[in-house]
Structures are given as C-alpha cells and as structure tokens.
C-alpha cells in the first residue's frame, strides 16, 4: 500500500459507508465505490466523517473502513480519516490509528455534547497535535457539534504544527475570507458548505469537502478544473447552476446522509441505507431527489 505526501487541494469526497441489508458494512461495495470515485477524478477521500456515519460504527468497524479505503486507494489520492469522538482520549486513539494505518491526515471537529470552552478546546487539539505526526484538518460545523470555532480561534490553533487545514461548514462565506486573511499560507481553507463552493474557489479556497461528491464526483471534479485550474468562470458558473438544485436540496433538507445514499442508488451505485437512528429516504422524497439530479448531466440515470 502506497502513501501520499502532497498538499491537500481539490475535491475531497466525504465518503459514505456502504452497508448491507442487515446493516453490516459491505466491504466489496466500499472497494468498488472508492475505485469509482478515483476514476471520476476526485482528489481525496475522507472516510468516517458525518456522511460516513462514524458515530454509528464500532471501533473495529472504523478500522475496517480505513483499511479498505486505504488499500483501494493505494496512494493514488490522499485519505484523510475522520477521527472524531466525544472524548480527547478516544480522539487521540483514533488519530494515532489513522496514522499507523497510513492515512495522509485526520479530520477533527470539536468534541460533541460536552461543549468545551475555548481554553478546553485548545487543550484538546494540542493534545492530539502532540500525539501524531500527520496533518490535521479542522472541521468547524457548529450545526452538528454545538461548538462554533471562530476564525480567530482557528487562527490561534495554527500555532500547533500539525494544524494545516480547515473544513469550514458554518455556511457563512465571510468566515472563509476572514480565515484566509488571518492565516495566509499557514492554513489551507476548504469549503464545507456545498452551496458556497464556487464562491469559495473564486476567493482562493484550496478545495471543497463534499458529501454530494459521492453522487456526482465527475461534476465536482470538473467544477474545480474549470474554476481553479482553467479559470473559465463562465463555464464553471454554468456547471454550478446545473448542480445547484441537488446541492440546495441536500444542504437544506435535513436528511443529508439519507438522501446522499438514496441518490447514489438512483444512479446505479447502491450503497445501502443509513444505520439507525437514521432511516432510508421515504418514497415520497425520491421524486424531488430525482428531479434535482436530472438538472445536471451526470445526474441523468443511464
């Protein structure tokens, strides 16, 4: 198994965890899904994020997902492991495991439920930083964790040598530009709000971490190519407007993981349903999903 050491940039898919009908992880489908993502041009994979249902997996299952993802990727793209948990001790263990298995970095949100103070949160990240030797991508998602990491706080974390990136998912574009102004080259900023992706590229974001990339990987990769590499704003805008109906539906519907998995199945890449407490998308929701998908060329079922 090869490893990658290049700087993170581009489209990183917040990878789903394929599951069987009985709720167990489906190793073969995960292998095939990773291969499909890479073949469609995505630049990195993030297993065990919120779209990957890390919170519903056992430690053994989390290791299994990482091992399969790493073996399937085989160094062709960076694999950044979600290493989140409720306690610092658990996060350290998951982060060290990710490093030992060969992951290129770890994605770290604030611990959920305990609502640490800024001083406690800084100490949390410092402890993890000192326990590993791979890059950390911070994950600011107050809607999920209940903890909002301000741009000023995130900038203070760049004093920790492994804090190199941030996925900013507050949904506020001003957070992105403030982070870039405060941190400069010390911190690579990734868009974490799907509907702000094109605007984020325009102002200098290194990339986009997206769950809908599971569904439309080629479109995500093409948008990055048009906007960042070729700087063809007109073509990028046209493509983004085609993608926007499904991005808006997913972002605002309150059933992100459920609908991502349902949309994958619609396009012939069945990854099963979420694990409880989440449930499969209702039949009444599938029509809206299908209609939104059809606005984008890649979303038209063969």
**Catalytic residue positions, numbered:** 139, 167
Q: Yes or no: say if 171 and 196 are a contact pair by the CB < 8 Å rule.
A: yes
Q: What pairing do the DSSP bridges indicate for beta strands 80-82 and 136-140?
A: unpaired
Distances (CA, A) of 98 to 59, 65, 211: 12, 11, 21
Distances (CA, A) of 284 to 70, 259, 288, 290: 37, 12, 8, 11
Q: Yes or no: say if 208 and 224 are a contact pair by the CB < 8 Å rule.
A: yes
Q: Report CA Rg, the chain.
A: 18
Both tokens of residue 75? 């160094």
Q: Count of CB atoms within 10 A of residue 146's CB?
A: 13
Phi-psi region of 109 (alpha: psi -120 to 50; beta: other; left: phi over 0): beta
Helix (H, G, I), strand (E, B) or coil at 7: coil
């Amino acid at each position: 198994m090869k490893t990658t050491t290049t700087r993170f940039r581009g489209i990183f898919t917040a990878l789903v965890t394929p599951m069987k009908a009985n709720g167990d992880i489906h190793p073969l489908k995960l292998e095939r899904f990773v291969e499909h993502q890479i073949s469609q041009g995505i630049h990195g994979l993030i297993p065990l994020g919120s779209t990957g249902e890390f919170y519903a997996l056992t430690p053994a299952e989390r290791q299994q997902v990482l091992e399969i993802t790493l073996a399937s990727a085989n160094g062709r793209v960076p694999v950044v492991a979600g290493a989140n948990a409720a306690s610092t001790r658990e996060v350290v263990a998951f982060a060290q495991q990710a490093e030992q298995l060969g992951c290129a970095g770890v994605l770290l949100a604030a611990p959920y439920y305990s609502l640490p103070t800024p001083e406690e949160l800084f100490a949390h990240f410092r402890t993890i930083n000192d326990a590993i030797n791979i890059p950390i991508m911070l994950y600011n998602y107050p809607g999920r964790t209940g903890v909002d990491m301000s741009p000023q706080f995130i900038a203070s974390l760049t004093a920790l040598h492994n804090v190199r990136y941030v996925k900013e998912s507050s949904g506020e574009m001003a957070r992105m530009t403030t982070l870039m102004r405060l941190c400069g080259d010390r911190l690579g900023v990734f868009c974490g709000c799907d509907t702000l992706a094109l605007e984020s590229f325009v102002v200098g974001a290194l990339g986009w971490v997206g769950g809908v990339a599971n569904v439309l990987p080629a479109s995500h990769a093409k948008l990055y190519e048009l906007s960042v590499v070729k700087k063809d704003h007109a073509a990028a805008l046209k493509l983004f407007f085609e993608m926007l109906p499904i991005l808006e539906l997913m972002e605002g519907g309150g059933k992100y993981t459920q609908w991502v998995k349902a949309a994958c199945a619609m396009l012939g890449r069945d990854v099963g349903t979420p694990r409880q407490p989440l449930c499969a998308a209702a039949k009444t929701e599938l029509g809206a999903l299908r209609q939104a998908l059809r606005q984008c060329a890649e979303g038209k079922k063969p």
